[in-house]
Structure 1
Amino acid sequence: MTNPVTLITGATGGIGAALARALAGTHDLILTGRDTAKLQALQAEVGGETLALDLTRPETFAEAVAGLGRVTNLIHNAGVVELGAVAGQDHAVWTHTLTVNVVAPAELTRLLLPQVRAEQGTILFVNSGAGLRANAEWASYAASKHALKALADALRNEEAPHGVRVTSLYPGRTATEMQRKVREQEGAPYDAAAFVQAETVADTIRNVLNLPHDATIPDLSIRPGPR
């Protein structure tokens, strides 16, 4: 039997790197990330191949993925967040956030659907609790994550006849560098022990990917446990 081929965007981030380590040896990995040095270090650790993608420029994706062969699973993990009130965030923040968090996943999905259909694989969107509700100062990020949910919901219905499963995962606060940035923007301390660990989220994604094909998990939330 051949291993499934799993592409992870944002592979050098907290959840992405944890997922790459969790899947190493049982999945053939395609790793994408912004930091070339970190990406190469991760590749040396878990194997697989790397793919250069600039998520701010979806128009470059077609050329970037043209040489890819099999793709079984597509994990949309990369994302950006910039907190701020609607009154204080101009169109540049909105455009950047929506491009990276929504337009890039939509375009990458479109381009790789033939391979995922051929494998009857899984497309998983790492969303956020902000994809289910919007709080003050979170408008641009929450809007992007609500849009990502809509993308996943529509895609799920469209691709079911092709045997492709689509899951939206809604992690609560997770111990990552992105969360550290968020806490700084909120003016609050960062305590990794108070949050879901990236490895726990990675294990959850691995379980979704390994689910027998007679079932699917459309939506899944994971939150920090009681303290």
Structure 2
Amino acid sequence: MTSLPTALITGASRGIGLAIARELEATHNLLLGGRDEQRLKELAATFRSAEPFTADMSDDEDVERAAKQIAGLDVLVHSAGVATRGPIDQMSRQQWRDEFEVNLFAVAQLTTLLLPQLRATNGQVVLINSGFGLMTLPDNSIYCATKWALRAFGDVLREEERPNGIRVSSIHPGKVDTDMQHDIVEYNGGEYQPELYLKPESIAKAVRLAVDATEEATVDMISVRPTRK
């Protein structure tokens, strides 16, 4: 890799994560995070300067193994996430555990492991949260809970790391035209209308705004909503 700053993006194989990788490609060396190593290798070959970061974010040992391979880091973007839907009285304890593992615990673990590298570069952490990190909706209890918890994690991390020069930004997208949104519409029995949703590239632009903020400035939070409802 060249001497450009390095950005690690989890969930980079599709959707918002892939759009963020495309947005940052011109200014950063990329580490593309995901579980499918072959897919990540093929994807990395399409970028100017990118390498796979293969890890199962639900496996703490695998996350630790992968993190040890990173020598230097300037930007950490957490875009990986999962969503479970259904009434609270139909959600099992295991479903709560599984979603918190990916949406919060893995984020906290990977961030903690990489703090020394980020402190060394006065780096940035960008959390791709959700509109559900600012509001709630029936049949989304687990997802909302993970995103509100992620918001609290980001707020505390921001204050703890200010003295160390690390900036922390939370991005809260509304409904985005991704596979997850297709699943939501299918769950609700509706008709999918892509023109009603944000494009993943719009969220990538919000990440760009946070990443490009001058050194004395931190973009604490950005909320992005579809123009049409």
Quote the residue 1:38 is aligned against. 39
What per-residue deviation string (whole Å, max 9, x for no partner) do you get for residues 12-34 of structure 1? 12111111111113100001113
Number of residue pairs the alignment of both structures matches: 227
SS in structure 1 of the partner of residue 43 of structure 2: helix
Q: Does 1:17 align with 2:18?
A: yes
Structure 1 CA distance for aligned equivalents of residues 3 and 191 of structure 2: 46
Amino acid at match of 1:70: G
1:149 — aligned with what?
Answer: 151
Amino acid at match of 1:177: D
The unaligned stretches of length 5 or more in structure 2 are: none
Post-superposition Cα deviations, 1:54-113, rounded to whole Å, max 9, x if no partner, equal 011123222222121111010000000011111011011111110000000000000000
Shift of 1:38: 3.1
Q: Percent same amino acid among aligned pairs?
A: 37
Amino acid at match of 2:162: A
CA contact (8 A) 1:16 1:77 kept: yes
Q: Given residue 64 of structure 2, which amino acid in structure 1 is its aligned partner?
A: A
Q: Does 1:112 align with 2:114?
A: yes
Asked if structure 1 preserves the Cα contact closer than 8 Å seen for 2:196 and 2:228, the reply is no
Offset at 1:208?
1.0
Q: Give the structure 2 partner of residue 160 of structure 1.
A: 162
Q: Which amino acid aligns with 2:67?
A: V
TM-score calculated relative to the size of structure 2: 0.95
* Rounded Cα–Cα distance in structure 1 between residues aligned with 2:196 and 2:40: 28
**Which residue pairs with 1:189 in the alignment?**
191
Aligned to 2:8: 7
Would you say the 8 A contact 2:127–2:170 is kept in 1?
Answer: yes
Q: Which runs of 5+ in 1 are unaligned?
A: none
Q: Provide the alpha-carbon RMSD of the alignment.
A: 1.4
> For residues 37 and 186 of structure 1, do their structure 2 counterparts lie closer, same or farther at Cα, with a shift above 3 Å needed?
farther
If the length of structure 1 is used for normalisation, what is the TM-score? 0.96
Deviations 1:169-188 (CA, angstroms, capped at 9, x unpaired): 10000011111111111222
Question: Secondary structure of the equivalent of 2:132?
Answer: helix
The reply to whether residue 138 of structure 1 matches residue 140 of structure 2 is yes
Correspondence 1:17-96 to 2 at 5 A = 17-46=18-47, 47-96=49-98
d(CA) in 2 for partners of 1:91 and 1:226? 37
- Matched residue type, 1:41: E
State the partner residue of 1:200: 202
State the shift of 1:204 in Å: 1.3
C-alpha separation in 1, matches of 2:92 and 2:57 = 20
Say whether the 8 Å CA contact 2:35–2:56 is kept in structure 1: yes
Contact 1:17 1:42 in 2 (8 A): no
Letter in 2 for 1:34: R
Give the secondary structure class of the aligned counterpart of 1:45.
Answer: coil
CA drift at 1:207: 1.7
Q: Tell me the CA shift for residue 2 of structure 1.
A: 3.2
How far is 1:203 from its partner? 1.3
